[in-house]
Structure 1
Amino acid sequence: MENKYKKIFNTNKLGMLTIKAKNPGKVLTIVACTHGDEIYGMEIFDYLINEFILEKKIISGTINLLIGNKEAYLKGKKIVDFDFNRIWGFEDKYKGSYEYKRANEIKEILYKSDYLIDLHSTTLKSIPMIIPVGKQDDNLIDCFSGTYVLKNLIEFLNGVALAKYAKLKNPNLKAIVIEAGQNNDPKTIEDGKQNIIKFLGYYGFIQNNTNIIKTKKIYLYAKKCIHAKTMNVKFLYSESPQSFQKIKKGTDILQDGENVVKADKDYIIIMPTTPRYIGEELGYLCESESE
């Protein structure tokens, strides 16, 4: 494959570059392209490998730069057969799929790490969001720019997410999911570079006198998730549904087939989405709280 990420693919068939320091230490795995069309993470990898020259800067530990859904990335698609961020319960219905095979290829890399960062992005303009996987992962938050922290969201997914699986297998793992913003937004990419360097310095992978400045965050707590029961879904609360829109109690949120979903209290909606398959998350209903 002739592109600027070729070095990653030449390293091994896993689509992973492993960078080890001479001094032992913790293991960090950074995952890009859990969804194959979310290429923001690959931009970060390119920066770390070819511009920052991470292999010359690392002073302790091991850093894995891992392409999640490798085949979907190569094809420029979100998925091959199934959503790679929902299949980690390894249910029988996923057997025979590319994603099932891929999950088995990389699962030990994930849960044998000490730190896990799962990088996501969007094709449309979006506000960055930080998603700690467990309660003990909150101490990772301040390495990442962004005002909004989403709590409990992973618990509402229609399936088991990559980061949640790794955390279940290794409760001592520190894991965080980053919804960075739009793929090709220069600010999204630049912020991402600085966030990762900040993380590497703060946790001792590179020499960097990093001072973490605690910034004000707005915590959004997922209370409900609307899942698609049909493929005939129409949002009613807005002609242009977007994350962070407020929905008042009693408002008709959407129509799913013949069923109308109403808000039983005031909410902030996150990630309103028209369905690509039955059971997909159509939106998360959240309540907010400032830090």
Structure 2
Amino acid sequence: MKNTKPFILLGETILPGQSKTIYMEIAKLHNTTKLKIPILIQRAKTEGPTVLFSAGIHGDEINGVEIVRQIITKKINKPKRGTIICIPVINMFGFVNKSREFPDGRDLNRVFPGSKKGSLASRFAYHILTEIMPFVDYAVDFHAGGASRFNAPQIRLAPHDDALKALADAFNAPFTLYSKNIAGSFRNASQKLQVKMLLFEGGKSLDIDYTVADTGVAGVKRFLAHLNMLSLETSPEEPAQKTIYIQKSAWLRAKCSGLLHDNGYLGAFVTKGTVLATITDPFGKFERKVKAPNDGYIINANHAPIIYQGDAIYHISKIILNESH
């Protein structure tokens, strides 16, 4: 069906078959320099849903930015039908400063739905939610592990939602975790607007891992193919295996401070008692083994060379819904 409906975003009209980059500006830097957030829109001539691919809601999570960049450069964002919106960097302030937070010290992903007259982060959340999200039907928001914690590529979705599960099946990341929406998060606020959003986690902050990026891009192709939006010029890639659904997982924390020597089990299935790492002191006085507390998949590993007692060092699955190891 021919696309004839008007599409007006931030005061700009995007016509059927048109590609346009518009800029969102909420505030300037303290030296009066304008800080604009590019929003790339590709609209097909045929009617269809609107999909958002976003990243950089935490300014130091560069891996997601790389995934959305590749979606654009490989022209995956040129839809067969409907509209695709790409925002490679939502938190441009944090991106410029290589920081997770906004300049006001707030985590943008904890202040939604925001406020028109609130803090800088709150105002930004408000404009994203009121001026962009009402147009969106489906979304994938790309993240990475915080600090030195490296996430195996995974999709996170709210439980008890068959439509979201179908999208996660289509994306087919190596792992899919059921996790409740966090109050104040972009995902939670989007769900209240009836937007079907998946959250992708992969890699760690201030780092680009091309294996993770390739996994994210391949998932996006399958996601769009599921919605019958993938361009005829692009073909989805068949995954090596079906995604592993994890219903419950837990963090393993360091019992002592020291130097962390990781044994490289990220993404692998391990049995109870497997030595995941060794913690040592710098002076050769002690070595303490870190053992898996149960059978499960290692879905996050701390790659920091120095850790403190109580630090989260491994995220391991506890309840797996579809065994495939």
Query: How high is the TM-score relative to the length of structure 1?
Result: 0.68
Q: Please report how far the alpha carbon of residue 129 of structure 1 lies from its aligned counterpart in structure 2 after TM superposition.
A: 1.6
1:235 lines up with 2:254 in the alignment: yes
Do the aligned partners of 1:143 and 1:212 also contact (CA within 8 Å) in 2? no
CA distance in 2, matches of 1:26, 1:41: 23
CA distance in 1, matches of 2:300, 2:239: 28
**Partner of 1:202 in structure 2?**
226
CA distance in 2, matches of 1:238, 1:143: 42
Do the aligned partners of 1:9 and 1:15 also contact (CA within 8 Å) in 2? no
- 2:81 maps to a residue whose letter is S
Aligned partner of residue 12 in structure 1, secondary structure: strand
1:107 lines up with 2:129 in the alignment: yes
**Partner of 2:283 in structure 1?**
none
Do the aligned partners of 2:144 and 2:203 also contact (CA within 8 Å) in 1? yes
- 2:255 maps to a residue whose letter is L
Do the aligned partners of 2:246 and 2:320 also contact (CA within 8 Å) in 1? yes
RMSD: 3.9
**152, 165, 168: which one aligns with 1:141:** 168
Aligned length: 246
Percent identity of equivalent pairs: 21
Q: Please report how far the alpha carbon of residue 223 of structure 1 lies from its aligned counterpart in structure 2 after TM superposition.
A: 7.2
Aligned partner of residue 215 in structure 2, secondary structure: helix
**167, 175, 192: which one aligns with 2:197:** 175
Deviates more, 1:130-139 or 1:237-246: 237-246
CA distance in 1, matches of 2:68, 2:316: 33
- 2:67 maps to a residue whose letter is I
Q: Please report how far the alpha carbon of residue 24 of structure 1 lies from its aligned counterpart in structure 2 after TM superposition.
A: 1.7
1:191 lines up with 2:191 in the alignment: no
CA distance in 2, matches of 1:164, 1:119: 15
Q: Which has the larger radius of gyration?
A: 2
1:58 lines up with 2:79 in the alignment: yes
Unaligned segments of structure 2, at least 5 residues = 1-18, 25-36, 274-292, 305-311
Do the aligned partners of 1:222 and 1:284 also contact (CA within 8 Å) in 2? no
Do the aligned partners of 2:113 and 2:125 also contact (CA within 8 Å) in 1? no
**Partner of 2:65 in structure 1?**
42
Aligned partner of residue 128 in structure 1, secondary structure: strand
Deviates more, 1:138-147 or 1:72-81: 138-147
**Partner of 1:160 in structure 2?**
184
Alignment CA distance shift 1:53-1:225 (3 Å): closer
Deviates more, 1:70-79 or 1:21-30: 70-79
Structure whose residues are more often strand by fraction: 2
**153, 171, 174: which one aligns with 1:128:** 153
- 1:220 maps to a residue whose letter is I
Aligned partner of residue 187 in structure 1, secondary structure: helix
**217, 221, 228: which one aligns with 2:247:** 221
Alignment CA distance shift 1:211-1:33 (3 Å): closer
CA distance in 1, matches of 2:49, 2:20: 24
Query: How high is the TM-score relative to the length of structure 2?
Result: 0.62
